[in-house]
A and B are shown apart, each in its own frame.
Chain A
């Protein structure tokens, strides 16, 4: 299995123009045409090197997804800066981060749907703005230098560190007038009710324009840097728009998947998604997210959030020094 690509590549390099390296689809064809020499040098070392690189990406995605899930921020906010620190170009790391965001969004959805904590109407309304910004960011990011993207990433990591460290639970009191059949979102409005503490708590969105402005910022960051805007979206939804934290977090998990998908379509059409590394981070992120969710009940969430904040600050400092 391992020797065939090696032989095929050597044969092709002697006999004529090189096709894109095996294992890399049309999704990332253009990038490899531009970097034929460096990529082929890496591949000619042997198949084992590529396997080690793939395994490293699986492990990094697993570790960051587990830690990110424990801290409630998701794995990509840590994965993308760590990939850049370990030598991956920011332009390549961004799509990989978004792949983990979309995968995490899908895997968390069944449980959140069962709990009926997602408000799809709030999610879709805010996503119109966030996705527009994300697509714009993804289109523009191709023209922005790696150094600027690294600075954006460092600023994002620092902001996430502050937001994650300061986050406090918000409690909406149950309303005795509510009955179990009231649980769910309301037709035609941005409101609903959710089960909490043995009762039912109603809620209604306020300050929608201010919330939408923050959603646009979150979408732009996702498109530019590949970091999910969840650390902006959840506080914006709960603190600015007065949606209960549990509903805000579940709705954000739903929406970041859409933002990531929209930006990933742009990246795929730009040839910036490495399918092998993308598959590696899908495996790592899905398994790591489940591991993090299992560990979540055994560790103190506030302690994990503080540790995650310290890690993010350290990563941001390294990014700035490297840039």
Chain B
């Protein structure tokens, strides 16, 4: 069992508290659940659109969290991690372009 004591890390504490993220993520979870369920039980004419919408919410939300973090890190002037966030967005974009090219 690791019981080594570490010193208090230097630097400012991040202001990220999740005040906006928490309700937004709760809404995304409930929205995806309702859309997916409705997509399974409603007639097919509307079901297709609802199923696509549910999956879009599920896929897009984690990526929107990266964008949100980039905005917060810009406000905090944390350029190193802003660069990491943008690099991650670039990797996802490059993957999409590569998949379209195949």
B16 to A286, Cβ gap below 8 A? no
A265 to B62, Cβ gap below 8 A? no
Give the distance in Å from the alpha carbon of A282 to the alpha carbon of B3 in the complex.
40
Residues of B in contact with A, size category: 35 or more
A202 to B13, Cβ gap below 8 A? no
Chain A, 179-191, contact with B by CB distance < 8 Å: what is the 0/1 string?
Answer: 0011111111101
Segment at the B interface, from A120-128, A151-159, A227-235 = A120-128
* B22 contact from A110, A185, A282, A286, Cβ within 8 A: A110
A124 to B13, Cβ gap below 8 A? no
B9 to A188, Cβ gap below 8 A? no
A268 beta carbon closer than 8 Å to chain B: yes
B interface residues, Cβ below 8 angstroms from A: 1-3, 5-14, 16-18, 21-23, 25-26, 28-29, 32-33, 35-37, 39-40, 43-44, 47-48, 50-52, 54-55, 58-63, 65-66, 69, 76, 78, 80-81, 84-85, 87-88, 91-92, 94-96, 98-100, 102
A interface residues, Cβ below 8 angstroms from B: 1, 4-5, 22-23, 25, 27, 54, 58, 99, 102-103, 105-107, 109-110, 113-114, 116, 120-121, 124-125, 127-128, 131-132, 135, 138-139, 142, 168-173, 175, 177-178, 181-189, 191-193, 202-204, 242, 254, 257-258, 260-266, 268-270, 273, 275-276, 278-280, 282-283, 286-287
